[in-house]
Each structure stands twice: as C-alpha cells, then as structure tokens.
Amino acid sequence: MASSHGKPVRKVVIAGGGTAGWTVAAALAKNLGSMLAIELVESDAIGTVGVGESTIPTARRFHEILGLSEADFVRATGASFKLGISFENWAREGERYFHSFGSTGRSTWMADFQHIWLEAQALGVAGPIGDYSLETQAALAGKFRTGGNVPLNYAYHLDATAYGLFLRDFATKFGAVRTEGRITEVRRDGLSGDIAALVLDSGAVIEGDLFIDCTGFHGLLIEEALETGFEDWTHWLSTDRALAVQTAATGPARPYTRAIAHDAGWQWQIPLQRRVGNGLVYASAHLSDDAALERLAQRLEGEMLTQPRLIRFRTGTRRKAWNRNCIAMGLSSGFVEPLESTSIHLIMIAVTRLMQLFPFNGVTEALADRYNALSRAELEGIRDFIILHYHLNGREGEPFWDACRALELPDTLAARIELFRESATAFQASDELFRVDSWVQVMLGQGLAPEGYHKLGQMIGRDRLRQSLAELERGIGQQVAALPTHQQFLDQYTALVAA
C-alpha cells in the first residue's frame, strides 16, 4: 500500500543510469528542477542492456517537451530516421507487409478508410492498402526528408548507449547530480516501511523522499527491497532470449526497421548512420542458445563490430509500478519484447505521467493508484498489440508458430479481433498508444480478412472509388518522387549539423 504520511517531496533519487535513468533525470531536471533536488546513482562497473535502438514518433514530442535540438540529438547518437517497420515472413514465408507511422488513405466521419478500401478491392479498383500510405511508399522507395511540403510522420533509429550519455549531459546542465557507486543496501524507514536511503559500496548514504528504480530487470528497489511482485505474461509471449550484435553497414541506410520472422521468433535489422543494429529474438523452448548464435551469424549482412550479446528476459509487469515511495521505470517496471519498439516510449511516458501526477505534497495512495491504473492500461494495450502479430500467423507446421495460433487470448484482444473479423472495425481508446491505422495495417497484413464492412464505399460507387483512389495514389507517388533518398538526406543533414 502506498504511503500517505504527507511528507513533501523535495529530493528525488534515481537508482540506475543508462537510457532509462537519464531519460528520467533529463525530464525531471528540465521541467521540475527549480522545485526539486535530483540525484542519480549509477556504477560504471554495471553494464546497461543498451539494445533498444528503435523508437516510435512519440519520442519527437518528448524531445519537444525537453527542448532538445533534433540536430544535436542526431549528431550525438548516430541517429537515422524511421518511417515504420517492415514485417517479413510473419503471415507466411516470403510475404511482407509494412506497419507505417502515417495515416492510410482518407477517412470520413462515417467510416474509416479500410471500409472504403475493402469495397474498392471487392470491385477490383484498389491496389494493396499500403499504396495509399505516404510513409509506406516513401519507406519502400528509400526516400525521406524532414520539413518541406511532404509531411512525413517519423521516429528514429539510435545508438542507445550514446543516447544515455547525451541525456546525461543534458540533465546535469539542468542541475541533476550524478553519483558514482554500486548500491549495496536499500535502507527502509522502520515506521513507514518506505525507502529512506541507498547505501553505496563507498559507505555513502544517499537519502531521498521519492525513489525511481531504473536498475533493470531485477528491480533492486521495487522488487528486491519492496517485494512488489511480478505478473508473468510468458503464456502469451513465449520468447525469452535475444542475441544482439552490431555490424558494419553494407549499403544505404533504410528509413525503416526490418522484423524478419524465423521458425522460433524473429530477427531485427536497425540501420543507423554508420552501422546496423542486429538481433535475434527467440523462444529457448524451441531454439537453443548455440543454434540461435549460429543462425544469427549466418544471417548477418556486414562485418561484426561487436561480439553477440545474450539477453535473457521474461515478459510481464510488476504488480505495481508505483509502490510506497518508489516508482519503477524502464525494465524494472516490466517488459514487453521489442517488436514494436515501445521500450523507450514506455520510459518517456512513465516520467511524463509522473510529472503530471507529481507528489509535491507527499506520496498518497490516490496518486499511486491513478498512476498504476494508467500505466497498466497502456502496457496491456501494447501487450495485446504484440500478441496480435504472433497469433495471426500462417506459418503452419512450425511448433512455435502453431502454439502462437492456438493461444487463449486476453479477452480484450479476442474481442478486438472478433470485431474486426466481423465488421472491419478498429478503434483506439483514449489510453491506448496504437492508432486505428496501426491495428488495421497489422490485422490485414497478418491475413485477417473481414467478413463485412461499412457500406459507405458502396454508396460512393465504383467509378468514383476508382477515380478517388487513383488520384490518391498518384498524389502520393508525386510526393515520394520529390523526396531525396534517406541516405542523401542523412548525408546532407549530418554535414549541416557538423558545420
């Protein structure tokens, strides 16, 4: 139960650095630094996971809140630009679909675009639904530009370790204090049970009023000290291993992430300015670590710049992200695998939510309950979206994928799939991350064919549908043709930044 003693929060202590810790420190220092003392404790002897090299467009809004320069960020992190994710071999071997960050087609107040497109497809006057997405067509053509007359919705590929260092410099400029040391004891108050201080290997005692746990999977504060409990979701998402390695680039940087399915999971390729991040995600029940390492090595397209790193994980969530005067953020709060690049977003939204609900007058149960309800709702929505990819697969005869198709789904996801199957209706609730376009692209891409749809397209008529879609496709083609290649834009952009 959360404390309600009403002790004002004047000092925040962040346990752990890396992307999570320094994202939190940067946001708090920039926006609440005049009201708070902020101290981050980290040890150079403890490595960070540092795998997440891909973001979603919400990162741009977070950077705006911090007042970060995109040019400075791109220079510091070796970033490239991302328009979405190419899903390869997920529905069936040899098939591909694209989950873009942009809007698809033109929706109306009466019906979303997929209903119109389904009618046009039935009449034989529509191409693939991705033909009507600017971001999809730009990505597949390898084109990109920020600004200008072609408004692309984009995110970033980045070096996560460099990003943590970039945010560290930013946070310390706004008053955050970094303390080097390994935490050897989490000291609790004898009366309230709250965390009172962190004791370091040097003997230093770091006291605080509110503690943020960014210590990674094991959750040194939230779990080891407070025994909050963990809700395991591996019965829905059974991948539990990832091998990560960096390779030299072998060609122009694509403006998208590749997620390539294999018989026990999937492989990622994330192009940065000067290298490529690679990884193999897999279920250890279906693929041994040695076999996974061999498979990854066979699939690499460039020279290895690092040795492959094995990461063990368990999908699930802490029963409470906020427990007493401790809030877990990043991997310590839970983990949903990196398929849709949500890990960094979850850190950003967690600290944004904290700033909105900040306990200036003291930690209360009501604040913690509200924070926990919002956090759980968003994470469950992301969980459902990830399960969707696995469940709707056509890779028959492979035990891993057969088991994914046979899953007993969360009720929330089962209802959403049935709604789309029956009527092509998709939705985004107010507390959900993924938009209608995202659900539609993945459901259709994974082979879920609706049995019915809204009749707006029928009311429009065949000839008007053909003309409207042709004009839409032609306009997108003209916009894409006017764009430079992603690599050309990167070269120009980084040259201007360096100057």
**SS3 state at 442:** helix
The verdict on whether 11 is a catalytic residue reads no
- What values do phi and psi take at 214, rounded to 5? -120, 40
Structure token digits, residue 167: 């945010």
- Spatial distance between the Cα atoms of 132 and 126, rounded to a whole number of angstroms: 10
User: Between vectors from CA 266 to CA 264 and to CA 268, what angle results, nearest 5°?
Assistant: 155
Q: How far is CA 467 from CA 119, 126, 460, in A?
A: 14, 10, 11
From 11, 30, 82, 173, the catalytic residue: 82
What's the number of CA atoms in the CB half-sphere (13 Å) around residue 397?
Answer: 2
Question: Which residue shows structure tokens 């953020």?
Answer: 329
Residue 27, amino acid: A
- Spatial distance between the Cα atoms of 69 and 173, rounded to a whole number of angstroms: 15
Q: Are strands 322-323 and 11-15 parallel, antiparallel or unpaired?
A: unpaired
Structure token digits, residue 401: 């994928």
For 367-400, give the DSSP string. Answer: HHHHHHHHHHHHHHHHHHHHHHHHHS---TT-HH
Cα 281 from chain centre: 15
157, 272 Cβ separation under 8 angstroms = yes
Active site residues per annotation: 82
